[in-house]
């Protein structure tokens, strides 16, 4: 099974507001950057979409170390996901994304690692730049916010 490192981050300009996510996949020293965004979203949705998009980009089952600064993502998977599923997603925010993430966690062998955000971790900083650039690309031009 291939061993892949994935780093992800999400960003939002306002919460809700224009948001972006960034991901970097590393396999045998080769890096691939991914990013995207939505016009009206939340930071937590972007954190989830970063992880989902990165895992969806893998063409075959892999052993993955996924590093994120999102406690929502890491704790959601490691502590809360089974309970949320058992109670049929009642009172859970972003159930559509959690349900999209679940089969990816089953397909791949995923270890989640939390790192403190904006603390100098090189890949986390790069993912933050990808995410904020994607969010900024979706912001209305200055002076046109109210249109």
Which residues are part of the catalytic machinery?
9-10, 47, 69, 118, 128
For residues 97 and 103, give the distance between their C-alpha atoms in angstroms, rounded to a whole number: 11
Q: 75, 83 in Cβ contact below 8 A?
A: no
Q: What is the DSSP string of 1-44?
A: -EEEEEEEEEEESSSSEEEEEEEEEEETTEEEEEEEEEEEE-HH
For residues 85 and 81, give the distance between their C-alpha atoms in angstroms, rounded to a whole number: 6
């Amino acid at each position: 099974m291939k061993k892949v490192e994935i780093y992800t981050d999400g960003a939002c300009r306002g919460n809700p507001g224009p948001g972006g996510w960034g991901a970097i996949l590393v396999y045998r020293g080769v890096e691939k950057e991914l990013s995207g965004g939505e016009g009206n979203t939340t930071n937590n949705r972007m954190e989830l979409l970063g992880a989902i998009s990165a895992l969806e980009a893998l063409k075959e089952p892999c052993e993955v170390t996924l590093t994120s600064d999102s406690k929502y993502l890491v704790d959601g998977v490691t502590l809360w996901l089974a309970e949320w599923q058992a109670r049929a997603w009642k009172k859970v925010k972003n159930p559509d994304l959690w349900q999209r993430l679940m089969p990816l966690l089953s397909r791949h062998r995923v270890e989640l690692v939390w790192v403190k955000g904006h603390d100098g971790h090189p890949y986390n900083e790069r993912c933050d730049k990808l995410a904020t650039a994607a969010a900024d690309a979706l912001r209305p031009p200055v002076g046109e916010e109210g249109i």
